[in-house]
Amino acid sequence: MTIIDGKKVSASVKEQVAEETKKLKEQGIVPGLAVILVGDDPASRVYVNNKKKACELVGFKSEEYALPATTTQEELLSLVRDLNERKDINGILCQLPLPKGLDENAVIEAISPMKDVDAFHKQNVGRIMLGDYDFLPCTPAGIMEMLHAYGISVEGKRCVVIGRSNIVGKPMAMLLLHENGTVTICHSRTKNLAEITREAEILVAAVGRAKFVTADMVGDGAVVIDVGMNRDENGKLCGDVDFENVKDKCSYITPVPGGVGPMTIATLMKNTLKAAKLQNF
């Protein structure tokens, strides 16, 4: 069994981004990312801080807009429109979830598709379906990069994704399909879930429930990717997979923390770099 080291893979992705950023800077171009955070959700604050740190590391300009929970829809949209116009901002990200009363879809749709480094805009989602895209959503793309780094081929494999969110589950399934996996998507209405997951050669858990995937749900030799970011009964960060009891059945498994999370941020850096290139050349 191999524990996939997301920190290590993400460090090498960020190193590559830093190198390319250096070259861009020699041509007078500094990639810029604007991150919008509305309200005071502590988990969102941690994610935003990590994104800022990564920007510093790779040499990007980063701007943070921390807005109060009382921000109106119009104020938020007006900020997005201003950022759309800015030449020095190549990527715009609005940290989700937004406080109640704000329309997430309207905000996503307001971001220029060229600056949509999360790849949540309808136009980018459609392009991913067609396999003709500039940006891929950060978490699923980060997972694919991690599989590649470990030489894990998807071709012809039985892949099972638990979760069908627009952010993780659905695009994850699509990317596995692009690489010729045979993909099943499971969700809260799926019957006999364990029967399906046991068949998986590659199992991706994106449920949002601590230790949801137990050893009896995993087949021998499976590759298990844990997207979950949950708190256990002691408040400790843990994934969707019961890591201690599942790991010995796996050929590969990602830990939480140190698995998918760092890859998500590394991919955001890649997308922002790409946005800067697309907008300048």
Residue whose beta carbon is closest to ligand NAP: 165
CA distance 125 to 130: 9
Applying CB under 6 A, which part among 17-25, 70-78, 145-153, 160-168 lies near ligand NAP? 160-168
188 interacts with ligand NAP by CB under 6 A = yes
| Distance set, CA 159 to CA 65, 174, 200, 205, 211 (Å) | 39, 11, 5, 11, 20
Comparing CB distances to ligand NAP, the nearer of 175 and 229 is 229
Whether the Cβ atoms of residue 64 and residue 35 lie closer than 8 Å to each other: yes
Comparing CB distances to ligand NAP, the nearer of 79 and 138 is 138
119 interacts with ligand NAP by CB under 6 A = no
DSSP 199-218: T-SEEEE----TT-B-GGGS
- Tokens of residue 125, six digits: 């989602």
List Cβ neighbours of 55 (8 Å cut-off, separation of 6 or more).
Answer: 33, 61, 62, 269, 272
From the list 112, 160, 261, 268, which residue makes contact with ligand NAP (rule: CB under 6 A)?
A: 261
Tell me the closest approach of the beta carbon of residue 190 to ligand NAP, in angstroms: 6
From the list 22, 81, 148, 187, which residue makes contact with ligand NAP (rule: CB under 6 A)?
A: 187
Applying CB under 6 A, which part among 33-41, 118-126, 151-159, 222-230 lies near ligand NAP? 222-230
Burial class of residue 10 in the structure, from the number of CB atoms within 10 Å of its CB (0-12 exposed, 13-18 middle, 19+ buried): buried
From the list 32, 59, 171, 228, which residue makes contact with ligand NAP (rule: CB under 6 A)?
A: 228
- 159 forms beta bridges with 183, 202
Applying CB under 6 A, which part among 69-77, 86-94, 206-214, 273-281 lies near ligand NAP? 206-214
Quick one: which of 242, 262, 273, 229 has its CA closest to 146? Answer: 262
DSSP state of 114: G
Comparing CB distances to ligand NAP, the nearer of 59 and 228 is 228
173 interacts with ligand NAP by CB under 6 A = no
Comparing CB distances to ligand NAP, the nearer of 79 and 146 is 146
Quick one: which of 117, 112, 107, 113 has its CA closest to 142? Answer: 117
Quick one: which of 2, 10, 274 has its CA closest to 142? Answer: 10
87 interacts with ligand NAP by CB under 6 A = no
Q: Which residues are catalytic?
A: 51, 95, 118
CA distance 1 to 261: 21
Comparing CB distances to ligand NAP, the nearer of 59 and 261 is 261
140 interacts with ligand NAP by CB under 6 A = no
35 interacts with ligand NAP by CB under 6 A = no
Q: Which residues make up the interface to ligand NAP (CB under 6 A)?
A: 139, 162-165, 167-169, 186-190, 193, 206-208, 227-230, 260-261, 264
